[in-house]
Structure 1
Amino acid sequence: MRRSRQSAMALVKRTTTWLAVTVAAVAAATVVTAGPSFAVSPTSATATASVGYAYFNADTQVLSIHDSHADGYGIAVINYRYDLANIGPYYGWNREGSGTTTYYYLHMPPLGEIKFYVCPEQNGVVIEYECGSRAFGYAGTEI
């Protein structure tokens, strides 16, 4: 049995339809992936615990660790830097006593992200079950 030949017009219609479907699928995928964008802006943050607090200043990129209780414990701040190849954890300490503040200058790129939390410490041992909640900050312009 011989196969009938398609007319040139039928071939053009089929090719045009296939091309239209492909273009529509690519356009739909582009719209779906574009979606809404969430702009990140410099954000300062504070993390607290029973022994004190840590404050990240987005403008100066300084992490301040303040001991606010005369309880015999120091303060450890555990932080993760998402602008570095090794995100951490990194540790900051304040062992100077109640009412003191220790400063860490972080030198982060613009919008570099940091996550940190505060824990009591004694003799270099972090007491993890008394840590406070996590805080997130984004650095401002590079200093």
Structure 2
Amino acid sequence: MRRRRWSAGLSVKRTVTWLAVMVAATATSMAVTAGPSFAYPTTAEATSSAGYGYFNGETQILAIHDSHKDGYGVGIIYYRYDLAHTGPYYAWNREGNGTTTYLYLNMPSGTEIKIYACPEQGGLIIENKCGARVFASVPI
């Protein structure tokens, strides 16, 4: 039986194809493992003079607590980065001092959220008295 000789062109094609497959595999693995340069915590608490909002990424629940007997409710302004319309969205607790309202957000893994807590009165959030913004994310 006669041995088949490989041409130089076939050898180059095989090498180029092998290199292309390796580059594609490396790029894919980097894209899958690459994440943001920083990770937000899975819990966050936004405070205001009327109360606070607490987001737990494990349960995906936003708790809104009125912690002051001041005649104000607690309004939460939040932005969800898993939806086409990121926000603002609004939630509130108008039940009075010492009460907590819960909102289940049903967010996918890795989703980020930004939250502000503000005093609320008569259905209107008093935005110029909001506390600092906080960020959290749903764990992957």
When normalised by structure 2's length, the TM-score is 0.71
- 1:1-143 map, 5 Å: 38=37, 40=39, 43-140=42-139
- CA gap of 1:37–1:120, structure 2 versus 1, over 3 A, is closer
Letter in 1 for 2:92: W
- CA gap of 1:76–1:38, structure 2 versus 1, over 3 A, is same
After TM superposition, give the deviation of residue 40 of structure 1 in Å: 3.0
The 3-state SS of whatever aligns with 1:87 is coil
The 3-state SS of whatever aligns with 1:129 is helix
Q: Are 1:42 and 1:59, in contact at CA under 8 Å, matched by a contact in 2?
A: no
| Count of residues paired in the alignment | 109
Alpha-carbon deviations, 1:3-51, whole Å to 9, x = none? xxxxxxxxxxxxxxxxxxxxxxxxxxxxxxxxx9626365211100111
The 3-state SS of whatever aligns with 2:62 is strand
Q: 4+ residue stretches of structure 1 with deviation over 2 A? A: 36-42
| Structure 2 residue ranges without an equivalent (≥5) | 1-34
The structure that has the greater radius of gyration is 1
Identity over the aligned pairs, expressed in percent? 59
Instruction: Report what 2:30 is aligned to.
Output: none
When normalised by structure 1's length, the TM-score is 0.70
Q: Are 1:41 and 1:111, in contact at CA under 8 Å, matched by a contact in 2?
A: no
- CA gap of 1:41–1:67, structure 2 versus 1, over 3 A, is closer
Letter in 2 for 1:53: Y
State the distance in 2 between where 1:86 and 1:70 align: 35
After TM superposition, give the deviation of residue 58 of structure 1 in Å: 1.0
Q: Are 1:51 and 1:68, in contact at CA under 8 Å, matched by a contact in 2?
A: yes
